[in-house]
Amino acid sequence: MKIAVAKEIEVCERRVALIPDTVAKLVKQGLEVWVEAGAGEKAFFSDADYEAAGAKISHDSAQVWSEADILLKVSPPQTREDGRTEIELLKSGSVLISFLNPLGNPVIAQQLANRQITALSMELIPRTTRAQSMDALSSQASLAGYKAVLIAAAALPKYFPMLTTAAGTIPPAKVFIMGAGVAGLQAIATARRLGAVVEAFDIRPAVKEEVQSLGAKFVEVKLEEETVAAGGYAKEISEDSKKRTQELVASHVKNSDIVITTAQVPGRQAPRLVTEEMVAQMKPGSVIVDLAAEQGGNCACTEAGKDIVWNGVTIIGPINLPSSMPVHASQLYAKNITSLMQLLIKDKALEINFSDDIVDAACVTHGGEIRNQRVKDALQAVAV
Ligand code: NAD
């Protein structure tokens, strides 16, 4: 059985699905690992490193794709320069493991089903204790939360920590984190380490203690509706609750030097938390980093992939932040993906067992069918 690591062609993608250390572990299990030449280059892992770990390097990309029994990737399949899609290159009946964004782009699921691919989407790994080592959403969100604070600190025309110097006293920067999930909690921890005074807000009341344990103040809004959906994720809240939360957070946004927004509701457009009016109230020189830029933005002024200055406030809408730290992003992702593979390979052979809840949840397509009802619904909505 051939396991292959693809070279990413998406322009912003610098991560790679396996790093040499994880290749060595798979090879030790008696598995055959192929790596497309240059696959790890942008993450600073050379072909020689992979070869030393026991992988075979192939310069024939089409061959790697068409012969792999399990193809490992980071970004969803793309269209190549020659106009062929990567999905077309896959061997019918093979397994693809990657981020696939099947809820945001359900057409991809249909294309994979048509090619009889068994596709496992890293976004669909359940957020359970047993699946923790496979949870790529968490490993990558944590990198994004960390980097968001560094970007904000670099853009802020001020210090972060309080300083008492012979030339005077500098007050600490005020940071407001909106959305205290995995990225938000890492952003809180990072901003605290840099010496800022941090406040955080989330509609899930359960995060209050986590926020406080990181040394931040929790901004609480009491809503009269259930805000938590299955799996611990946030629900989309009513218009009335949105209005109440906006009223509550407005003064915190106004008084902050930095606002970092991370709020998401799976499968939906990102909730709008920061309005134009709120940005207009912020001090010139303040900075907003919107981690939901790719999902439509938590801030009304965000432009995905751009840094803009609006009324003196810098608004940064980064795309694919984990990819800007490709060494550790790849290391963590490689661990996530190899942990998942341990559920799929028994005695060096592929064994897709749908009675395993993790495999069942992550597998989007199998046997020519889309297996996930939410993806089917999303596909139908696109078709209408
Ligand atoms: P996410 O990226 O979907 O959302 C980020 C945060 O935005 C969440 O905390 C969410 O509550 C918040 N949010 C959504 N709408 C909002 C609004 N209108 N206003 C303010 N905040 C809003 O979430 P995530 O970080 O991927 O994870 C969230 C959940 O998954 C958490 O419950 C976490 O505990 C759980 N989780 C569990 C495990 C595990 O048990 N193994 C692992 C990872 C995450």
Q: Is the pLDDT of residue 258 over 80?
A: yes
Measured CA to CA, the distance from residue 349 to residue 217 in angstroms comes to 51
pLDDT in tens, 57-92: 999 999 999 999 999 999 999 999 889 999 999 999
56 CB within 6 A, ligand 1: no
pLDDT in tens, 271-285: 999 999 999 999 999
pLDDT of amino acid 221: 84
pLDDT of amino acid 230: 74
pLDDT in tens, 349-380: 999 999 999 999 999 999 999 999 999 999 99
Task: Please report, for residues 176, 188, 252, 300, 359, the alpha-carbon distance to residue 246 in angstroms, rounded to integers and kept in the order given.
Answer: 14, 21, 10, 12, 39
137 CB within 6 A, ligand 1: yes
Mean pLDDT in residue range 224-251? 85
pLDDT of amino acid 58: 97
200 CB within 6 A, ligand 1: no
pLDDT of amino acid 383: 82
Q: What percent of the chain has pLDDT over 90?
A: 88
Measured CA to CA, the distance from residue 54 to residue 20 in angstroms comes to 8
From the candidates 49, 159, 233, 356, give the one annotated as an active-site residue. 233
* CA 368 to centroid of ligand 1, rounded, Å: 32
Which residue stretches of 156-283 are H helix? 182-193, 208-213, 239-254, 276-281
Measured CA to CA, the distance from residue 354 to residue 352 in angstroms comes to 6
What contacts 24+ positions apart, CB below 8 Å, involve 47-52? 49/20, 50/5, 50/20, 50/23, 52/20
Token pair of 169, please?
């006293």
Nearest 5°: CA angle at 103, between 102 and 108? 35
286 CB within 6 A, ligand 1: no
181 CB within 6 A, ligand 1: yes
Measured CA to CA, the distance from residue 42 to residue 329 in angstroms comes to 12
What length is written for the chain?
A: 384
Type and span of the H or E element at 26: helix 20-28
Q: Name the residue among 150, 149, 126, 148 with its Cα closest to residue 138.
A: 126
Q: Is the pLDDT of residue 231 over 80?
A: no
Which residue type is seen at 355? S
pLDDT of amino acid 237: 86
* CA 68 to centroid of ligand 1, rounded, Å: 35
pLDDT in tens, 130-147: 999 999 999 999 999 999
pLDDT of amino acid 45: 98
Measured CA to CA, the distance from residue 156 to residue 149 in angstroms comes to 10
Nearest 5°: CA angle at 253, between 157 and 195? 50
260 CB within 6 A, ligand 1: no
Measured CA to CA, the distance from residue 230 to residue 214 in angstroms comes to 26
271 CB within 6 A, ligand 1: yes
pLDDT of amino acid 157: 98
* CA 381 to centroid of ligand 1, rounded, Å: 25
Residue with tokens 């600073």: 44
pLDDT of amino acid 236: 85
Choose the residue to mutate in 127, 178, 241 for probing ligand 1, maximizing ligand atoms within 8 Å of C-beta. 127
| Residue nearest ligand 1's atom 24 by CA | 181
92 as an active site residue: the answer is no
Which neighbouring-strand residues pair with 199? 176, 217
Measured CA to CA, the distance from residue 245 to residue 267 in angstroms comes to 21
pLDDT in tens, 6-61: 999 999 999 999 999 999 999 999 999 999 999 999 999 999 999 999 999 999 99
pLDDT of amino acid 227: 83
Q: Name the residue among 264, 254, 285 with its Cα closest to residue 178.
A: 264
Which residue type is seen at 55? A
Strand duo 168-170 + 163-165: pairing: antiparallel
pLDDT of amino acid 369: 97
165 CB within 6 A, ligand 1: no
Residue with tokens 């059985």: 1
| Residue nearest ligand 1's atom 10 by CA | 234
132 as an active site residue: the answer is yes
Please tell me what DSSP assigns to residue 237. P
Burial of 290 (0-12, 13-18, 19+ CB in 10 A): buried
Strand duo 258-261 + 349-350: pairing: unpaired
141 CB within 6 A, ligand 1: yes
- Look over the chain and give the mean of its residue pLDDT values, rounded to a whole number: 95
132 CB within 6 A, ligand 1: yes
138 as an active site residue: the answer is yes
* CA 45 to centroid of ligand 1, rounded, Å: 32
Helix (H, G, I), strand (E, B) or coil at 345: strand
Which neighbouring-strand residues pair with 370? 365
* CA 124 to centroid of ligand 1, rounded, Å: 14
Choose the residue to mutate in 101, 122, 132, 138 for probing ligand 1, maximizing ligand atoms within 8 Å of C-beta. 138
| Residue nearest ligand 1's atom 2 by CA | 264
Token pair of 46, please?
């050379």
pLDDT in tens, 295-335: 999 999 999 999 999 999 999 999 999 999 999 999 999 99
Task: Please report, for residues 118, 180, 234, 306, the alpha-carbon distance to residue 184 in angstroms, rounded to integers and kept in the order given.
Answer: 33, 4, 14, 21
